[in-house]
Structure 1
Amino acid sequence: MRVLFLHSNFPAQYRHVALALAQNPNNQVVFGTKNRDVNLPGVYKVIFEPSRNPHPTTHHYVRPLESAVLHGQAAFKLAEQLKIKGFVPDVICGHSGWGPTLYIKDAFPDTPLICYFEWFYHALGSDADFDPTDPLNVDDIARIRTKNAPILIDLYTCDRGLSPTNWQRAQFPSEFHQKISVLHDGVDTDYFKPQPGAKLVLPNLDLSGVDEIVTYVARGMEPYRGFPQFIETLAYVQERRPNCHVVIVGSERVCYGKSLPNNLTYKDLMLKKVPLDLSRVHFTGSLPYGQYLQVIQASSVHVYLTRPFVLSWSMIEAMATGCLVLGSDTAPVTEVIEDGKNGLLVDFFSPRKIADRIDEVFNHPTRMTEIRANARKTALERYSLANLLPQHLQLIKDIAS
């Protein structure tokens, strides 16, 4: 079987499935991407590059669409080069929204396309209008609607779609739901597993003598993932628990939502606003997987806050290690965590209540033991890569044939 993957940020959601397909010598796996830095054994990586950036005078509603078109054009040219070399895929798997899938069916009209549908944008009722202190204006509403243009083209064009959670699938227009299956990417629960008695020792951080460790993990430090609320929470935690340390994993950037003006970061903003004992707050930056695993294995309580938006892999990975996850009472967290059973839920906007629940974890360790075990059980039963990867492979095989 010949399989073509398309994702600007190789390998992203396709890491495990591309590797599994490449292990079969009867398969030929080609991955089109912009990422030159990473390689996977057996996967033939090919690079596409947009011919230019969106023009600065393009209307700002349309700029994401122009970017998608430029990416789609680059992927189409790549497809033409692959055809010249004799490669015609039996099936194409691509991430929708950024553009590489836009014209791929024009290049390979007889090849079925499976699109990964991660998010459909709404001005009202999900992430964009979630924070009452950050109201939308008419310009925002129109811009958000227009962002769906390339996704709508993919919804029409693709033969099958995938979304990782029911919440994310529910954001798409109901008339397309019959095309979209809910199938999570899966978490390697053999890798992300508990380590009883784990102590946290990283190259530049030794917390082996610390018994109370609060962890927070996100790609960026931003309002979408509750970073401001988390920093405000720490003021209460430090006042109440003088021996507690906090480990924050992530980059000092904004991955989702609005950036601050004048290159100000949310880390700078919040540390100026909230006085903390920084000797007990440790910013690690992004970490290699092995060190990140050590952080969550040693965690006493792992705080995961998010607007109603895309669910982070990190929350399921933390649950798989038996972490006590304190999550925001927002979709899609509530699709996974049942309060008091396999984790704890809390009001996203209440730092004091978040701190109260952190206290609850430390004050009732025996009660939390069962919750930790149930978190691991949930990851094994519903999100284990060992169970979900065969379903992904079977779907690709079925669609290809």
Structure 2
Amino acid sequence: MLLLPRLLKRFVRQGRLTVITPDDKRHVFGPGPGAILFAGQNKTAPAVTVRFSDDKIEREIFLNPELALAEGYMDGRVNFEDGSTIHDLLSLFWLQRKEMRKHPLQKAIRNIRLRIRRFRMHNPLGVAGKKVKHHYDIPTDFYRLWLDETMTYSCAYWHSPEVGLEAAQKAKLRHIAAKLKIEPGMTVLDIGSGWGELAIYLAKACGAKVTGLNVSPDQMAAAQKRAEAAGVGGSVTFINKDYRELTGSFDRVVSVGMMEHVGVAHYLEYFEKIRDLLTPDGIALVHCIGRVGPPGFTGPFFDKYIFPGGYAPAMSEVFAAVEQTGLWSSDCEFWRRHYHWTLAAWRQRFLAKREEVVGMMGERFARMWEFYLSACEISFDIGGDMVFQLLLGPHKSAVPVIRDYITENEKALEAQGF
């Protein structure tokens, strides 16, 4: 190896990384595994052993670490020994990624990505739907292997890590319904309705008339079947449209895990559409992944393979758009640990079904999803990602001035078996 050692010597200050090259030589970086304090948490910097199958992968990782490492692992050119895993390597990376960012070449690459991010996140009508389908038109049976019974593919709401995934997902549905103060007969628009669990819940628990909006035909068809099986087929309707194409007026608008696909250049358009779809005394809830730091960009692996055109916004970008719409921000809640626990549960469930995933989708796809779930779990644990829920309305009295009503509504729904 010629290029990579210069980077790794600066990078691996905690833990140990052993790289085995195609000639079977071992190159060791770092002092060894050990406990460290990172971002206020006690963590262990692991010892990781990785094997490169060819000489080209070294140069590729030096020039584009995240994407080349992911593709190398997906293609079987990067493998692990001594009990190490891709999760271990990504943990080692995240615990000291600031060191890698200091390298002049990596700084230059980041600056370029920041400058072209609006181009990468340009999601006009027609294009946006195609990008979303890239992720959500994967066969529903694949997701069914490792999601919980609610088929909810967004951050759960955990009272503690011990409650379990399904209970946490049901608590999330209850929390959203409680915030929105939905009464029987109200009309609700669910933008980006997934497999329909939230729409089904709002119809059953609150007596709402729900319209689900989804640009993925396969997901929408599965959601309609689930609504009919749940006995609320007459109260829930799913429409295959982009949110910008919809007209009408709704008492409540909810958007869970959809704003990530909007693109920073379209935020004003997104919030203006939500405003225009609300009744004068309506309430909207936006649930979205966000970043604690300033505006950034989507990593190259996620942009290419997972969420093309997707982006988790800085709060400064969110409120810069909201403040131009005339909408009142009635409440903003930050979920700091919740997605870490959700992703940890998903990854363990995925690994338990890995052989079935390979049989259904192939080894390369399984490795891609291992990388994706591991990277996300670690980022929400020790990185700068979180989830926020924003309540919006046309006027300042849309919701009670004290948040106690949320807890009261949650208890009432739970007492009714919801």
**Does TM, scored on the shorter chain, surpass 0.5?**
no
What TM-score, normalized by structure 1, do the two folds share? 0.31
Relative contact order (C-alpha < 8 Å, sep 6+): which is higher?
A: 2
Is the helix fraction higher in 1 or 2?
2
What TM-score, normalized by structure 2, do the two folds share? 0.30
